Structure 1
């Protein structure tokens, strides 16, 4: 049964896109705002992307606008650029055949809004809003939103066989929105958890990080363990006990480096193990480097063995990451380390009051590998406060270092 309600205040993001809807409707077609933007508006959350669905076929949409890009024409999606911002407009469609458990083998364009909403993942995402702010709810999404429930549209088994990534999305939404997953949907995830291995790890990676940085990440992680999804993720199969300890720690994370660093900390990973683990997740090299530095600092902080060089080497952002992690999982405060970092004599090698060029010009050194060695020594000595960061003190330290080396 269709439920149609009127949204109160329509956000600016929708108002800016109204000319798109109005032109499509003026041509005799239906057009609606759909999906996450409608859901997030009703939940008073920020809107990220405004998506539009229409009864007009792609060729008909392209006839209505001067500037379009075929961003996903085979699936009915055309991007309209006429109004400064790019808006993706997708034709109502049905889908069939999912041999890769991710993308439909066959897409059929239709004129029916109901048929289009029926193929969507969860009831809270199967909502459509007209230009007047009227919301069409065919599958109980508004009631589920009020009850804080994630429920598959129709048969969960069908939805997860169509797109196995939806299992991770369900858990991510539970974490981000602080919702619970409806019983049949939860059973469906556990029943089909092994299908997650059919999904490209990059896609699982994205959902996992979003889940771990959600407002109720412990709930998300708990659901991931309860449904056995963790057994089908790189490097997590034998980590149930550590994951359970994390769930009990009530962590709050705000970025990807913190996510992986917390895992590496609980898994007691060495730098090499961190690198291997994150490469299996297809993680960016910069993230891997930062996770190694942050995790090393976590171990030193909890052992109360942090030296100036450790803080300097980690850098401001990774010191901040380490402190943020420990402050959420420990009754003690580790914020003093941020003050210690700010008190470092230098926080960058460029802040040394002498350069290699000056040492050469003064006749103290010649261009050679030894020059780099000396500058590294001076950097560390200044950070550790054994040498003052002024030119004469650095020259004296250089002379002493060269004589000792001889």
Structure 2
């Protein structure tokens, strides 16, 4: 088949394909960009595959970057935008179940497509719009199925992370993994232990932040992949299915809080989980603070103004996506309105600071400064004082006179 028109992203990169072809080589748009365009989804990155070897690409284009020249990838700069151009290649000897021991550059597109993970990612488009489909990827797109290219066992042994990618694509696209590919996944699940947790983490978060994340989660659990990952491999628990609720999760912290609440993890256990998965410090902080407020909200009827002030709006929004999945109820709209109506949201918004107390009230630096600011902050948050510098200074003066 031929594409009737190119997306803007392909049109901008089309001169690269045309220049490569003008020098006697083949060149194609490949992979996820082709898949996403055919599915009517936004295109993230445009990847190009070619029969030209890296040295030949560098001769054709004046401005290139050796992004991954060992594996055949050269970044070609065009109009200040970089496009990765990768030579057709075959790969052998995956001793670490992730990276090939040997990469061989070839001139055959079919050989290059054969090494790819799933048929829906093994599609290529020529400069004139012809879609090359050597492994029936178009049929699988139409059937909404995820199928390994060729022998699934071989694909997963080449790169065990592909098993996480399978459930991630199921989640992102709402597709089903075909029976043969899923059976291979079941058999090879223990190989996931060979993969660095950082790479598993990336696929897991993409899966859980997708629109159809429940599909991916259920496959992640039922396939046994979850028991091959840090922390979960030692957890003696029945994992939830999350059948209720429709809304997507807000962010990564929402993922971990959902799991912590559904599995009844303590703060210490959640901390262990987050560290085991090599989470970023910001994610750890957001997850723990959100869990703390969730537990407080569950235990108490309604938070006070001071309690709301000590959190941020993201926590409310985050829990609004988590609680319905647990069949818990709270009026998060009302909470959000209450939060927005707080006179101040942070200490720096207070119209009184230490310099004011020192300069205008002739105070010396010391504990009294912090005590006055703490009291003023609480009084403003609870509505006892207006957040105006003259009012706050007069209040501080009165406090000192007592």
- TM-score of the superposed pair, with normalisation by structure 2: 0.93
Instruction: Could you tell me which runs of 5 or more consecutive residues in structure 1 were left unpaired when the two chains were aligned.
Output: none
Deviation at 1:265, TM superposition (A): 2.3
Instruction: Could you tell me which runs of 5 or more consecutive residues in structure 2 were left unpaired when the two chains were aligned.
Output: none
- Are 1:18 and 2:17 an aligned pair? no
> CA contact under 8 A between 2:250 and 2:317: conserved in structure 1?
no
> CA contact under 8 A between 1:101 and 1:195: conserved in structure 2?
yes
Give me the whole-angstrom Cα distance separating, in 2, the residues matched to 1:155 and 1:251. Answer: 36
Give me the whole-angstrom Cα distance separating, in 2, the residues matched to 1:150 and 1:139. Answer: 12
Pairing of 1:91-170 with structure 2 (within 5 A): 91-170=87-166
Deviation at 1:240, TM superposition (A): 7.3
Task: Pick closer, same or farther for the CA change 1:245–1:139 going to 2, 3 Å.
Answer: closer
Match of 2:387 in 1: 389
Match of 1:377 in 2: 375
- Are 1:181 and 2:185 an aligned pair? no
Residue correspondences, number? 400
Give me the whole-angstrom Cα distance separating, in 2, the residues matched to 1:195 and 1:377. Answer: 57
Deviation at 1:403, TM superposition (A): 8.1
Match of 1:358 in 2: 356
Secondary structure at the counterpart of residue 239 of structure 2: helix
Secondary structure at the counterpart of residue 309 of structure 1: helix
Task: Pick closer, same or farther for the CA change 1:282–1:370 going to 2, 3 Å.
Answer: farther
Match of 1:256 in 2: 252
> CA contact under 8 A between 2:120 and 2:138: conserved in structure 1?
yes
> CA contact under 8 A between 2:294 and 2:319: conserved in structure 1?
yes
Task: Let me know the Cα RMSD of the aligned residues.
Answer: 2.1
Match of 1:7 in 2: 3
Give me the whole-angstrom Cα distance separating, in 2, the residues matched to 1:261 and 1:118. Answer: 40
Deviation at 1:388, TM superposition (A): 3.8
Task: Pick closer, same or farther for the CA change 1:280–1:331 going to 2, 3 Å.
Answer: closer
Which string of whole-angstrom CA distances, capped at 9 and with x for unpartnered residues, describes residues 25-76 of structure 1? 0100010000000000000000000000000111111110001111111110
> CA contact under 8 A between 2:65 and 2:75: conserved in structure 1?
yes
Which string of whole-angstrom CA distances, capped at 9 and with x for unpartnered residues, describes residues 151-190 of structure 1? 0001111101100110000000000000000011111111
Deviation at 1:387, TM superposition (A): 4.0
Deviation at 1:402, TM superposition (A): 6.4
Deviation at 1:272, TM superposition (A): 3.5
Report which stretch shifted further, 315-324 or 346-355: 315-324
Report which stretch shifted further, 300-309 or 332-341: 300-309
Secondary structure at the counterpart of residue 70 of structure 1: strand
> CA contact under 8 A between 2:64 and 2:75: conserved in structure 1?
yes
> CA contact under 8 A between 1:55 and 1:111: conserved in structure 2?
yes
Give me the whole-angstrom Cα distance separating, in 1, the residues matched to 2:250 and 2:87. Answer: 36
